[in-house]
Amino acid sequence: MLSTLRERAQPFFADAAPAHDWHHVERVDRLATRLADDHTETVDRDVLHASVYCHDVGREREARGDVDDHAVWAAEQVPDLLADLADGATVERVVHCVRAHRYSASVEPETVEAELLCDADNLDAMGAVGIGRTFAHGGALGEPMHGSDDPRSGGQLAHLRGKISSLRDRMYTDPGRELAAERHAVVEEFVEQFEAELSGDR
């Protein structure tokens, strides 16, 4: 099932920007595997990995303005992507994971697989990779690295200080919280160094 689903999902990322390309999916998949290995509850690996492959198939469409919410649109594609590959119960569980994965979603994860997907997806936005993704995304949008009058008030630096720094407190699982603490420290150190360089102190 999973190898076929990978083949079906990957074309959705053909023109994706670096922050949400297929490499992102592969990193989230590795993180989800690590978190599941360290989790104390039983995890349905098929549901988890299927959810990883499907979770951002609508991301580029949202970026182009073709859909309002990539998580909603992606969840609607899951039945077709899993057609002839999984039973109805599995499809429903994957739909829920995909629908609930978004940072700003109003849908809370209700299964361990959904929690693991959320944690893995958010972890990829943290640490050194998360810093790289932040500036890659800002560059693709033509946004500045930092503000003008107050460097901390705008651009990608503000994004790191705001949303990215808040992700540590949004983890659902113990393994996710442990890894988030490490990656959060990397972001904090980078922001401190970045601001010191902007001010000419270092």
3-state SS, one letter per residue, for the chain: CHHHHHHHHHHHHCCCCHHHCHHHHHHHHHHHHHHHHHCCCCCCHHHHHHHHHHCCCCHHHHHHCCCCCHHHHHHHHHHHHCCCCCCHHHHHHHHHHHHHCCCCCCCCCCCHHHHHHHHHHHHCCCHHHHHHHHHHHHHHHCCCCCCCCCHHHCHHHHHHHHHHHHHHHHCCCHHHHHHHHHHHHHHHHHHHHHHHHHHCCC
The topology (CATH level 3) of 1-109 is: Hypothetical protein af1432 (1.10.3210)
Instruction: Supply the pLDDT for residue 40.
Output: 87
Query: What integer is the mean pLDDT of 19-37?
Result: 97
Whole-model pTM over 0.85: yes
Q: Could you say which architecture CATH assigns to the domain 125-202?
A: Up-down Bundle (1.20)
151 pLDDT more than 70: no
Q: 140 pLDDT band (50/70/90 cuts)?
A: confident
Specify the domain boundaries for CATH 1.20.58.1910 within the chain: 125-202
Q: For the chain, what is the mean pLDDT? A: 93
